[in-house]
Amino acid sequence: MAGIRRPNTRLPSTKNQIVVACFLATFIAYVERVGFSIAFTAISQQNSINKAAMGGVLSAFYWGYGLSQIPGGWAAQRWGGRRMLSLSFAIWGTASLCMPSNAKRLWTIMLMRVIVGVAQGFLIPSIHTVLSLVIPPAERAKAVSLTTSGMYLGSAAAMLVLPRVAQSAGPASIFRLVGLLALLWLLLWRLLTPGPAAQVSSMPITAADAKDPAGKLRGSTVPWRRMLLHPAVWAIVVNNYTFHYAFYVVMNWLPTYFEQVLGSKLADLGWGRTMPYLAMFLASNGGGWLGDYLIHSCQFSVSSARKTVNSIGFLGVAGALMLMPAAHGPAQGIAATTLTLTLAGLARGGFSVNHMDIAPRHAGVVMGISNTAGTLAGVIGVAVTGVLLQHAGAGSPLVGWWQSFGTAAWLVLIGGIAFILFGRGQNLFGDIEPV
């Protein structure tokens, strides 16, 4: 049957409101992630918890987060992104409120962190599922860039504010604060999307693929085999892996880098420690606006726009990473780190949007697959960097840093080239696009 259009029903939520709500979701989620690290570091110092135990607790989140990416994408398509976002925030917000602060209950804390990780693993695939139904193709870059930039602004805000909260009210107060923020966001989301009418979509659909009141897609089967064998999907997966390898290495080893290479503690830098994340926030939005500008005003194809923005970001990051071990003093170190994360943020307007270009109906599933690779990159990258710093830098610590950042730079370069060669901008799996 020819494509039919959904009745033009007035919706309680506009596209912009949904995008802002999704931005707040990523903002609060990253306040939680950074906040837990701040709180648990303080608890560990107060109770003399060793580094091995600290590492086990801090990594527990990522095990849960990685395991739930693909199921999260499938569930968002099956039951609707609105419902899965609600479930995600309800679970991890409650878990944060119930998080024990007793250092003797490490196994309980680890279990709760796994639960938080599993729940937050549904976040990004669900957001991509919602946005793929709300946002037309020519507007996706800036919408996705805005929502993902909440991660970086949330990280900066947490680093600036939460240490003072821990000092004044105790580390456990951070758990309660972020849990409350999650539940407040859940209330906002339910007000914006109260029911079936808020399953925002103006897309032309076939009768077989019409959405039912629950927000799931009738007759829409995930083409797993075609997806897993298509080079364009793997281009996104490779880019997600290499991007997050570099990002997690910089994020997790930044305090050690400043102390060993630059002779300055990150805590002594004041506002300077937030500059890289603030710059990444601005650049992430800039990458989205640039991508949409190339499509609207310069008549670029979607594929060309994505590849242009992605290439500027990835190739630039590869070069900027090599400036970090060459820096002398805190000012140069902050500048090099800020440049690296600025270019990384810009790249978000490329590969990070491409899920919705090639598979708008299955964007959450593709995002789940690629984000699993990105989470794995974080686990591997942080561990490999530790080994390189310990062994390669045994004689001269600077050698280890050159090798660590050099490894990340080569991977990012490979990712950028892979996207140029295999990235695509058109719908590859027979879905109907939003209008």
Q: Are the C-beta atoms of residues 302 and 354 closer than 8 Å to each other?
A: no
* 149 Cβ contact list (under 8 Å, min separation 6): 23, 26, 280, 281, 282, 284, 285, 345, 348
* 300 Cβ contact list (under 8 Å, min separation 6): 294, 308
**13-196 shares its CATH topology with 223-429:** yes
DSSP string, 255-309: HHHHHHTSS--GGGGGGGGGHHHHHHHHHHHHHHHHHHHHHHTS---HHHHHHHH
Instruction: Kindly tell me if the per-residue pLDDT of 202 is higher than 70.
Output: no
Tens digit of pLDDT for each residue in 337-388? 999 999 999 998 899 889 888 988 887 788 888 988 998 887 788 778 887 8
Instruction: Kindly tell me if the per-residue pLDDT of 134 is higher than 90.
Output: no
Distance between CA atoms of residues 177 and 130, nearest Å: 27
**What's the pLDDT at 55?**
67
Domain range annotation of the chain = 13-196, 223-429
With tokens 């419902």, the residue in question is: 83
Distance between CA atoms of residues 178 and 34, nearest Å: 10
Tens digit of pLDDT for each residue in 318-334? 999 999 999 988 889 99
In this prediction, residues 147-154 reach a mean pLDDT of 88
Instruction: Kindly tell me if the per-residue pLDDT of 205 is higher than 70.
Output: no
Q: Flag the least confident range among 81-95, 111-125, 137-151, 222-236.
A: 137-151
Using pLDDT thresholds of 50, 70 and 90, give the confidence band for residue 266. Answer: low
Question: Alpha carbon 11 to chain centroid distance?
Answer: 28
223-429: CATH number: 1.20.1250.20
Cβ burial 319-345 (10 Å sphere, 16+ → b, else e): ebbebbbebeebeebbbbbbbbbbbbb
Per the structure block, which two tokens stand in for 36?
């837990």
Tens digit of pLDDT for each residue in 395-430? 677 888 999 999 999 999 999 999 999 999 888 886
Distance between CA atoms of residues 3 and 206, nearest Å: 5
Type of residue at 253: W
Q: Are the C-beta atoms of residues 234 and 422 closer than 8 Å to each other?
A: yes
Instruction: Kindly tell me if the per-residue pLDDT of 133 is higher than 90.
Output: no
In this prediction, residues 35-61 reach a mean pLDDT of 77
Q: Which residue has the higher pLDDT, 393 or 338?
A: 338
- Domain 13-196: top CATH class: mainly alpha
Distance between CA atoms of residues 137 and 29, nearest Å: 26
Type of residue at 10: R
Portion of the chain with pLDDT greater than 90, in percent: 37
Distance between CA atoms of residues 286 and 412, nearest Å: 20
In this prediction, residues 223-250 reach a mean pLDDT of 92
Helices vs. strands in the chain: H and E counts, helices first? 16, 2
Instruction: Kindly tell me if the per-residue pLDDT of 5 is higher than 60.
Output: no
* Helices (H), ranges, 8-121: 15-47, 51-67, 69-79, 81-97, 106-120
* 304 Cβ contact list (under 8 Å, min separation 6): 294, 425
The overall longest dimension of the chain from CA atoms, in Å, is: 71
Instruction: Kindly tell me if the per-residue pLDDT of 216 is higher than 70.
Output: no
**For the ranges 11-25, 129-143, 302-316, the one whose mean pLDDT is highest:** 302-316
Classify the C-alpha dihedral 428-430-434-435 as positive or negative.
positive
Distance between CA atoms of residues 233 and 220, nearest Å: 19
